Amino acid sequence: METPVIQVQLKDPKQWKTLPPAEKLGFGNFFSDHWFTSHFSETKGWTDAKVEPYQNLSLDPAAAVFHYGQALFEGMKAFRRADGSIWLFRPDFNARRFNDGAERLCLHTVPTELFLKGIGAVVRADSRWVPKEPGCALYIRPTLIGSEGFLGVRPSREQQFFVILSPVGSYYSEGAAPVKIWVEYSALRAAAGGLGAVKAGANYAASLQAALHAKKKGYAQVLWLNVDRQGIEEVGTMNVFFVFKNEIVTPALNGSILPGGVRDSTIQLLKHWNKPVVERRITISEIYERHGKQELVEAFGTGTAATISHIGELQWQDKTMKLGGQHELSQQLLENLNGIQMGTKPDTFGWMRSLDSL
C-alpha cells in the first residue's frame, strides 16, 4: 500500500499558544499548536495524512476504541542540543514496537515511513516547542485507534493514527529524588498471553485502581508482580533493575512485561561497560531476602517518561525495604543517556536520529 503525501496546514502564527515556562512543565500538562493525523480504511488504505492545528477528534460514538479498547500508543522524546539542533532517541525502535502492538490488537500496521515522516513533519512544525532547558524534552505520543462505528465484536475496518506533542520536565513530582514504590500483591496488571507486552491503553486502565490506592498511602508508583504474586514484572510507567553486589538483574521479558526502549538501551550500556547484567526471573522474596543480607545495593526504573529513576523504598505487604542513598550506577546511566541524547557523549550505538533526517 502507498504511503500518502503529507499535507501541512499551519496555524496563523498570531494564534500560536504561549510557551509554558520550563519549571511549570511537569509531565503531559501542555500540548503544542499542531498534530499529525492520517486515516486508514480497508478499501482505501492510508489517506489524508496531514499536519494541522491541534484539535478535538470527531468520532462515531460506536467507534471500536470506545467499546472494545482498540487503542495503542507510543512514548518517544525529541531533544534540543546546545547548537539548537533537534534529535530523536531511537524512533525506529518505537516504530517497530508500535507495529508489534498493532498486530496484537488486530489493527492495521502503520508503514514505518508514514510513522517516522508524520512525526518528523509535526515536530518540525512545532520545533519551537522543543525545550532547551536541561532535563526537559518534547514528549511525542503516536496513537492508533479503531475508529469504525460498529458494535459487533471484530477488528475495526477503519482506523485513525495521530501524533500529539507535549513539552515535559520530570515525570514524577519528586523530580530527580528517589521514588517510593508499593509492591502490589493483590491486583494484576497483565498475564502472559494478554496485552502486557504491548503498549495498549488497556494495560494502563488495569493499573489505575492499584496506583490510586498506592498514591493515597504515599507511594509514587506500583511495582507489579506476576500471576504467582512472586515474579517481579514492571512498574507500568517503567521497567526495573536491581543492583546486587555480584549482578544486576532485570526481569526477563516473559510475555507480560513491556519491552522498554530505555530498558534495552540500559542493558546495552551495561554490557558495553562489562557489568554483569542478567535478564532472568526474579521474585520479591529473593529481593526481600537479599536486601536483608545487605546484598541489594540500589534499584532503579527505566522509561521514556521516567528516564532513569532512583528507587528509594519498596513496600511489600508489611515489609519495608529502604534502599539508602546509593545511586552510583543509576546516576552513571542517567548521565550517559543524557549525554548521548544531548550530543555531549558519543552515540556509540547509533541511537540518535536528527530531525532533519526524518
Q: Kindly list the residues in this chain that would bind ligand COI in the complex (CB under 6 A).
A: 75, 237, 303-305
Nearer to ligand COI, 49 or 305 (CB): 305
Nearer to ligand COI, 241 or 244 (CB): 241
Q: Quick one: cell of 331?
A: 546516576
Least distance to ligand COI, CB of residue 350, Å: 21
Name 180's bridge partners: 313
Nearer to ligand COI, 307 or 315 (CB): 307
Nearer to ligand COI, 244 or 300 (CB): 300
Least distance to ligand COI, CB of residue 42, Å: 29
Least distance to ligand COI, CB of residue 140, Å: 9
Nearer to ligand COI, 141 or 275 (CB): 141
Q: Quick one: cell of 18?
A: 504561549
Least distance to ligand COI, CB of residue 75, Å: 2
DSSP string over 288-319:
HHHHHTT-EEEEEEEETTTEEEEEEEEEETTE
Least distance to ligand COI, CB of residue 73, Å: 7
Alpha carbons 165 and 100: distance in angstroms, whole number: 22
Three-state SS sequence of 173-226: CCCCCCEEEEEECCCCCCCCCCCCCCCEHHHHHHHHHHHHHHHHCCCCEEEEEC
Alpha carbons 66 and 73: distance in angstroms, whole number: 15
**Unique residue bearing C-alpha cell 536491581:** 242
Least distance to ligand COI, CB of residue 235, Å: 10
Nearer to ligand COI, 87 or 171 (CB): 171
Nearer to ligand COI, 87 or 244 (CB): 87
Least distance to ligand COI, CB of residue 184, Å: 17
Whether 263 and 212 have beta carbons less than 8 Å apart is answered as no
Name 50's bridge partners: 7, 37
Beta strand 137-146 with 76-80 is antiparallel
The residue nearest ligand COI at its CB is: 75
